[in-house]
Structure formats: structure tokens, C-alpha cells
Amino acid sequence: HLPKEQIEAYSELHPKARHLLFSYGTAGFRTLGVVLDSVLFRVGILAALRSKKLDGKTIGVMITASHNPEDDNGVKLVDPRGEMLEVAWEQHASTLANAPNEEFLDALENFIRTTRIDLSKPARVVYARDTRPTGESLVKALEDGLKAIGAEGRDAGITTTPILHYLVKAINTKGTKEEYGEDSEDGYFQKMSEAFRKLVSGRPRIQPLIIDCANGVGAPIAKKLSQYLGETLPFALYNADTATPGALNNNCGADYVKTTQRPPPSLIGVLQQGQRACSLDGDADRLMYYFIDERGYFTLLDGDKIATLVAAFIVDLVKLAGLAESIKVGVVQTAYANGSSTKYLSERLPVRCVPTGVKHLHHAAEQFNVGVYFEANGHGTVLFSPSTLEKLETHEPSTPAQSTALKHLNNLTQLINQTVGDALSDVLLVEVVLAHKAYSAIEWNSLYSDLPNRLVKVHVPNRNAFKTEDAERRLVTPYGLQAKIDDLCKRYDGGRSFVRPSGTEDVVRVYAEAVLRSQADELAYRVAGMVY
């Protein structure tokens, strides 16, 4: 059954260092790229087993550390429908990654037995990496894992995280009635650009969009997408240098822009007043828009602003199509959503708050007919339930106006990458809405005004002492702390603050917002002081 000798021989080429402890968290395994070799080898085997467990369906493996510094790297598994790995397997992944070398085979056999994996099933894995220098050797380690267990591997090369998710879904739905698209990068570009052309046809010419590519994989992929879009949406690409060591995510990218609330220095002098621009992150699954306002202030249009714009547009289309009774649109946010966005949205449609992390948002969004989800940090997408897709395809419109709205909705289902947040697909989505509404960045921004906010990280002796409830909006422990935070918040106009342990760093994060900038800052620092 299990090719033990073969696995042992390969495993010796990828020994685990004794002192290292790995953990499959919200972002998969993520740490310094140079220490991940054994992890990638073992992930290759794990992905193959996941495929066998799911009857030979193709599993995805993405090698990236997203917005982290260039020296970091990481790896995530993608389930057959293009979704995040099932939660129960996160623990299995950690256990296998941490088994000492001499116990690895035993751990593997034990896992196969308890998880009841039928080894006679085929195993298929598709994998990709971003532009990080450590990626190349990590791919080799992964491939050794696949060879060791005899799995069929498909190398998708250097591409974005959302394209890998797309490929997984496209491969697994091929030839079925839910066929998602052609299973190639070309198929992805075709599908999206065609839908985009249809959605903006007959509208005024769109002004070029400045895109900060974070010096990452978004650069070559945006370049390719641009060829498919031609004149319908011209891109001006910046920070598109994937060759200079150390440039990735350095002073650029969506995370830089969101956390510093500043434009990338390389765009200063480029950005004209009122001109819209955006930043991708290192693997192109997050998106931030921004512009310089009439007073010269930098203004962010973050995930909340995108969610608002998109949700309102879809609600309108559903109404226009005469489907308001049967298609319910909802929005999913996290505690980080700006209070003003939640207020604006809640007055118009159902809004749910869930804990941080894409899997929570995605899952909650699936409960709606159309679920719009975005994290404030710019990760998000829109999900159309299977029954909604069918309704949209088969509904008979009774007026020309209904027919047009219905056509737009059907094109949106093709434009949007429904597997995961996709910065480039989201760019097209935003541009479609702006074109339909004839909004500039300024008009988009004026839908509501963000409350000033501040995010601080606090290094604490033990972040596990911080337990939360109510979608991370309240602390359960340390005892008594939440009451103090509540008291403090009451003293600030529009004051809101919460504390949660980070899932990706050894810190506790403190968020605060208030009506005045100075008050938001003060509240954040005072809560941070209580946490420490």
C-alpha cells in the first residue's frame, strides 16, 4: 500500500530541524522561507492524501506569504471547490509537519488509519507559487513529497493565490454542469475580461487606473490581464519590479497602504488630485483603492468601502430585475469594519459580523442567496448560491429593464472570482460599478465618512490569555478587562474598541475608533496600556 521505502528515502532529503515547531494557522504555514523545506515535502504528501480522501479530486497548494516581508514564505492547501482547507485538517497538517524525522512514517500511517484514507484512490494536486526567491526550492520539496507518495502533480507556475483557487475549481468542475471555466490562466483571463467588456459596453471610456503591484506576482498577472482588456480598461502599473531583491511589499502594497494610511512613496508626485489608484498585496488577493482629495489629503477606500459600493449595486440590480422577493443579498464583515460602514449597510440590508479570517467570512456569506464579504484589509468577494445562479439563468424577465438588469447580474457572476478574494477580479468589479454609477473616487467615498480609527499591536507575555466572544468584539479573559474597556469607550464620542489575539503574529491587536482623530488615537493607546 504505502510506498514506505520510497517515502523514507525522499524524506531523508528533507529533514525537519529538531528545534522548529510549525503550526497551520489562518494563513496556512507561514514563517521564514528558508526553514520551510521539510514542511513543503510533508505538505506534498498531505495534499495527496487529502485528494485520495476526496476520491481523487484535485487539491491545490499555494506557496506564498502574501503581504509578509520577502524572506518569509508559506503554504496553504485549497479544497476541491476552490475553498480553504477543511478546518479539521489544519490540526492534521500541524501534527505531520511537527513529527520528528524518525517518527514521520509512523505518524503518517497512524493518520491514514484514523482518517480512513483509501490508498488505492488516485491523488491529484495542482500547485503554484508567488515571486519570492525561496519559492523555487520549496516547489521542489513539494514535488518530492508528491513523487514519494506517487501523486499526480500539475505545476501552475508563478501565479496569484486567487488564480490557483480558480484553477482548482475549474479542474474539479470540468465536464459537469457547474463547469466554472477553462482550467488555465488563459481561461481565467478570458472569462473575466469577456464579462467585463459586456458589463461596460456602451459606457463612457474609463480613465487609466494606477495599480501598485507591491513588486509581486500581481505585476506579471496584471500585465497579462491588461492585454485581454485592451482599451476597455487601461492600467498604469507601478511597483511592478519582481527582480530586485527585497522590493516585494517593501514600502508598497495593500497592507502598507492600509496600516500606514499613506500612499506608497513611489506614487507621491504620480497621483493627481481626485485620480483613483489602488494597491494589491504580494499574492494579489487583497485590494485597496485610494485617492488624494481636493484638500490634498490621502483618502483610503478600503474593504468596507468596496463592500458598500458593491452590495448597494447588487441590491439595486436584483430589484430592477424583479427578483427582490426571491434573492436576498447580505453582507459579512469582521469587528475591524469601520462603524460607519456597518451603520450604512445595516440600514439597507442584513449584515453579519464574524471572527477574523477568510474561512469565517466565506462560510457566513454562503448562508445568503448573494453574500458579499470583505475584510477591512481588502480581502473579499461575492458569493452567489447555486440556487441563485440557477434562478438568474432561468428567470424570464417581463420588461426590457428587467432583462438588462438580469443580464448584468449574470455577467457579474462570471466577472467575480467566487472561490476567494481576488484583487484583480475585485478591480474589475469596482470599475464596473463606478462606470455604471458614473462615480468618481470622490463620489464613491462620499457614500459615508469613515470614523477615524487606530490599530495598535501590543507584545504581551502570553497572548493566549486573551479569549474573545461575540465575533471577537468582546474579551472573556483576562477577567474584568472588558468592563474597563467598556467604561473607557463611553467617555469618547462614537468610541468603540476591541482587543483580540493575532492569529498570525505573537501579539495582541487593539482597535479603536471615535468621531475625532485625536480621540480614536487616545482611546487606542489607553486600551493598549490596559492590555499590557
- Cβ-based nearer residue to ligand 16G, 362 or 496: 362
Contact, 238 vs 266, CB < 8 A? yes
504 is in an annotated binding site: yes
CA distances from 225 to 108, 200, 229, 236, 243 (A): 42, 16, 6, 12, 20
Site string for ligand 16G, 12-51 (x = CB under 6 A): --------------xx------------------------
Q: Are strands 58-63 and 124-129 parallel, antiparallel or unpaired?
A: parallel
* Binding site partner of 153, from Zn ion, ligand 16G, none, Cβ cut-off 5-8 A by kind: none
Rounded distance between C-alpha atoms, residue 228 and residue 221, angstroms: 11
- Cβ-based nearer residue to ligand 16G, 250 or 502: 502
- Residue among 435, 356, 373 at smallest CA distance from 364: 373
Site string for Zn ion, 266-295 (x = CB under 5 A): ---------------x-x-x----------
Residues 372-411 that bind ligand 16G (CB under 6 A): 375, 377, 379
Taking the complex as a whole, the smallest distance from the CB of residue 500 to ligand 16G amounts, in Å, to 7
Taking the complex as a whole, the smallest distance from the CB of residue 173 to ligand 16G amounts, in Å, to 22
Residue 393, number of CB atoms within 10 A of its CB:
11
Rounded distance between C-alpha atoms, residue 120 and residue 52, angstroms: 8
* Binding site partner of 283, from ligand 16G, Zn ion, none, Cβ cut-off 5-8 A by kind: Zn ion
Taking the complex as a whole, the smallest distance from the CB of residue 360 to ligand 16G amounts, in Å, to 8
517 is in an annotated binding site: no
At position 198, the amino acid (one-letter code) is K
Helices 104-114/4-13 angle, 10° precision: 130
Rounded distance between C-alpha atoms, residue 34 and residue 37, angstroms: 7
Number of residues written out for the chain: 532
503 is in an annotated binding site: yes
The CB-nearest residue to Zn ion is: 66
Note whether 165 binds ligand 16G by CB under 6 A. no
212 is in an annotated binding site: no
50 is in an annotated binding site: no
Longest dimension (CA), the chain: 70
281 is in an annotated binding site: yes
Taking the complex as a whole, the smallest distance from the CB of residue 73 to Zn ion amounts, in Å, to 13
**Interface stretch with ligand 16G, choices 133-141, 175-183, 350-358, 404-412 (CB under 6 A):** 350-358
Rounded distance between C-alpha atoms, residue 432 and residue 471, angstroms: 32
The one-character DSSP state at 259 is H
Note whether 494 binds ligand 16G by CB under 6 A. no
CA 523 vs. chain centroid, Å, equals 29
All three cell numbers of 355, joined, read 471572527
Taking the complex as a whole, the smallest distance from the CB of residue 372 to Zn ion amounts, in Å, to 19
- Rounded to 5 degrees, φ, ψ at 58 are -80, 130
Rounded distance between C-alpha atoms, residue 209 and residue 224, angstroms: 15
- Cβ-based nearer residue to ligand 16G, 81 or 121: 81
Note whether 509 binds ligand 16G by CB under 6 A. yes
440 is in an annotated binding site: no
Show Cβ contacts of residue 504 under 8 Å, excluding neighbours closer than 6 positions: 25, 26, 27, 30
CA distances from 272 to 22, 92, 294 (A): 46, 51, 10
Note whether 453 binds ligand 16G by CB under 6 A. no
Which of the following is catalytic: 11, 51, 66, 340? 66
Residue 66 falls in the annotated catalytic set: yes
Taking the complex as a whole, the smallest distance from the CB of residue 85 to ligand 16G amounts, in Å, to 10
Residue positions annotated with a catalytic role? 66
Judged by the rule CB under 5 A, the positions of this chain that interact with Zn ion are 66, 281, 283, 285
What residue ranges bind ligand 16G (CB under 6 A)? 26-27, 356-359, 375, 377, 379, 502-505, 509
The binding site for Mg(2+) comprises 66, 281, 283, 285
Known binding positions for substrate: 375-377, 500-504, 509
